[in-house]
Amino acid sequence: MSETSPKLRAELDGIPTYKPGKPAAAGGPVAYKLSSNENPYPPLPGVLESVMAAAGSFNRYPDMMCTALMNELADRFGVPVSHLSTGTGSVGVAQQLLQATSGPGDEVIYAWRSFEAYPIITQVSGATSVQVPLTPGEVHDLDAMADAITDRTRLIFVCNPNNPTGTVVRRAELERFLDRVPGDVLVVLDEAYREFIRDTSVPDGVELYRERPNVCVLRTFSKAYGLAGLRVGFAIAHEPVAAALRKTAVPFGVSQLAQEAAITSLRAEDELLGRVGALVCERTRVAEGLRSQGWTVPETQANFVWLRLGDRTVEFATACEQAGAVVRPFSGEGVRVTIGEPEANDIFLKAADSFRKDR
Ligand SMILES: *Cc1c(COP(=O)(O)O)cnc(C)c1O
């Protein structure tokens, strides 16, 4: 056997591994998974039926162009099919955006802390991450992000609402920022939690994209629509960008099961958005409950809350887990807690209360 091993790209050295939210322990005491921002509701019967029907022919490849889903999305958002591209979750589409725009020597700007996939997919592309700290209020510092633009900047992520803090950027500040970004730099508005927003001063990225050829909107079926396990998301962008996404797509990346589920979900949107409404009520209850216990909770417009616990982060996460609620610690920084079913939220609130009282 040879001593040498295959040469791998140096860019891969030191890439942080994506940490999936910890699963709720099987077999142990009741545990709720509040660690991955999933939708706690099981699939709607009609959506499940469409997936079961599609399962009967998974010996065949799916429709590579996702024709029916693309038509459905074009109608739903009032955009041409040529401005759409689907992918294996919106993270898959984000990775394609990097492939399409950035490589060694290029810079990618995003807020930090933000979505943990950004540093990973940026590093895989060979480009350099430029991380701009959130403001003390845990919000994107858009002025600082605009100041960070150089001749090498190719792509900027704006995560709205931001994962893991839940905070938003509003219309006036976002438009002012977009006005400062050169037209040859792609701005990606990652709106994975769009459906949970109730603050009317937060703009809909799809409206911003219409007038701005350098804006791309990312949406997903994973969160509000409850299809996280099926991996389907999409981008809305003007022609050259959407066409580049089609070029970088993994052939047949979106399964027929996912396509059918996405279509039936769009048709059952009223019912699904009703569930989102119930989660938004729970979000208010959890955030207010925490505040009344004395916690500082940044205003969240997503399906999770953020507690900046600093060096008590891991201890807090362990206490929640022992109480039966698995949360997502970011060691040394804070804990992100997904809004789940009311019983799960009750367990979490109780654990947070005892943690405060014990210390
Ligand atoms: C969950 C999430 C996504 C979507 O992930 P999928 O790949 O579509 O499941 C994208 N962006 C952010 C910020 C997220 O939190």
Residue nearest to atom 15 of ligand 1 (CA): 163
Question: What ligand 1 atom has the least distance to the C-alpha of 190?
Answer: 11
Is the pLDDT at 3 greater than 90? The verdict is no
Q: Which of 190, 217, 265 to mutate to test the pocket of ligand 1 (most atoms within 8 A of CB)?
A: 190
Judged by DSSP in three states, 218 sits in: strand
**Alpha carbon 209 to its chain's center:** 19
Q: Look up the pTM and report it.
A: 0.96
Ligand 1 midpoint to CA 228 (Å):
9
* Distance in angstroms (rounded) separating the CA atoms of residues 234 and 218: 6
Judged by DSSP in three states, 335 sits in: strand
What does the pLDDT average to over 22-50? 88
pLDDT score, position 161: 98
Is the pLDDT at 207 greater than 80? The verdict is yes
Q: Which of 122, 167, 222 to mutate to test the pocket of ligand 1 (most atoms within 8 A of CB)?
A: 222
CB neighbour list of residue 306: distance below 8 Å, 6 or more residues apart: 138, 164, 165, 166, 167, 297, 298, 300, 334, 335, 336, 337
Ligand 1 midpoint to CA 297 (Å):
22
Judged by DSSP in three states, 295 sits in: coil
CB neighbour list of residue 194: distance below 8 Å, 6 or more residues apart: 204, 205, 219, 224
What does the pLDDT average to over 321-325? 96
Reading the block at residue 251, the tokens are: 């052939």
Judged by DSSP in three states, 6 sits in: coil
What does the pLDDT average to over 218-223? 98
Q: Which of 85, 91, 338 to mutate to test the pocket of ligand 1 (most atoms within 8 A of CB)?
A: 91
Residue nearest to atom 6 of ligand 1 (CA): 89
Judged by DSSP in three states, 181 sits in: coil
Domain layout of the chain by residue ranges = 19-43+268-358, 45-267
Task: Give residue-wise pLDDT tens across range 60-113.
Answer: 999 999 999 999 999 999 999 999 999 999 999 999 999 999 999 999 999 999
Ligand 1 midpoint to CA 192 (Å):
5
Ligand 1 midpoint to CA 144 (Å):
24
Reading the block at residue 241, the tokens are: 């960008």
Tell me whether residue 281 is exposed, middle or buried, using C-beta atoms within 10 angstroms of its C-beta: 0 to 12, 13 to 18, 19 or more: exposed
Lining residues, ligand 1, CB within 6 Å: 37, 89-91, 115, 159, 163, 190, 192, 220, 222-223, 228, 233
> Residue 221's closest CA among 32, 47, 344?
47
pLDDT-above-70 percentage for the chain: 98
pLDDT score, position 22: 82
pLDDT score, position 280: 98
Place of tokens 């997502």: 328
pLDDT score, position 27: 62
Task: Give residue-wise pLDDT tens across range 99-143.
Answer: 999 999 999 999 999 999 999 999 999 999 999 999 999 999 999
Reading the block at residue 34, the tokens are: 């509040």
Residue nearest to atom 2 of ligand 1 (CA): 192
Ligand 1 midpoint to CA 48 (Å):
22
Q: Are 310 and 331 a contacting pair, CB within 8 Å?
A: no
Is the pLDDT at 315 greater than 70? The verdict is yes
What does the pLDDT average to over 212-236? 98
CB neighbour list of residue 88: distance below 8 Å, 6 or more residues apart: 231, 232, 233, 250, 253, 254
Judged by DSSP in three states, 219 sits in: strand
pLDDT score, position 26: 64
Residue nearest to atom 12 of ligand 1 (CA): 192
* Distance in angstroms (rounded) separating the CA atoms of residues 226 and 262: 10
Task: Give residue-wise pLDDT tens across range 132-184.
Answer: 999 999 999 999 999 999 999 999 999 999 999 999 999 999 999 999 999 99
Concatenating the DSSP letter of every residue in 80-113 gives: -GGGEEEESHHHHHHHHHHHHH--TT-EEEEEES
Handedness of CA 222, 226, 229, 232 (dihedral sign): negative
* Distance in angstroms (rounded) separating the CA atoms of residues 58 and 254: 12
Reading the block at residue 357, the tokens are: 């009282």
CATH value of 19-43+268-358 in 1.10.3720.10, 3.90.1150.10, 1.20.120.450, 3.60.20.10: 3.90.1150.10
Q: How many CB atoms lie within 10 A of CB 141?
A: 17
Residue nearest to atom 7 of ligand 1 (CA): 89
pLDDT score, position 18: 80
Concatenating the DSSP letter of every residue in 11-73 gives: GGTTPPPP-PPPPPPSSSS--EE-SS----SPPPHHHHHHHHHHHTTTTSPP-TT-HHHHHHH
pLDDT score, position 104: 97
pLDDT score, position 291: 98
Is the pLDDT at 294 greater than 70? The verdict is yes
Tell me whether residue 195 is exposed, middle or buried, using C-beta atoms within 10 angstroms of its C-beta: 0 to 12, 13 to 18, 19 or more: buried
Report the CATH fold assignment for 45-267.
Answer: Aspartate Aminotransferase; domain 2 (3.40.640)
